[in-house]
Amino acid sequence: MNQVERVLYDEVTHLMDRLAASVPAGSAHATSPRLKARLEEADAQLAAARASVIEGYGRWQRALEDVENLWALAAWHSAAAEQPGEQATPIAA
């Protein structure tokens, strides 16, 4: 579980704790079909938002790696250019 997944898990855990403290026992069932449909829709939206955040965090991590790799490549090129008598061989990026 990565850091973002841990935060999201904690958020849901806190939500469940708040619900457990505020919803009377035995009343967790939505008796109204309309209310049940709205709860199911809200649950689906929550799941979709969670998936989006996790996907976005994956893109964020890949972008960080790309920047780090490009800076390392730039440093390598710089160091190779400073070597007296040696020619830096071009690398396709």
Q: Is the pLDDT of residue 21 over 80?
A: yes
Separation CA 17–CA 39 (nearest Å): 17
**Average pLDDT taken over every residue of the chain:** 89
Reported confidence tier of residue 83, pLDDT bands at 50, 70, 90? confident
Nearest to 57 by CA among 14, 93, 3, 18: 3
Domain count, the chain: 1
Structural domain including 41 reads 30-78
Does residue 17 fall inside a structural domain?
Answer: no
Reported confidence tier of residue 24, pLDDT bands at 50, 70, 90? confident
Separation CA 41–CA 36 (nearest Å): 9
Pick the residue with more confidence: 64 or 31?
A: 64
Pick the residue with more confidence: 23 or 17?
A: 17
Reported confidence tier of residue 89, pLDDT bands at 50, 70, 90? low
Does residue 41 fall inside a structural domain?
Answer: yes
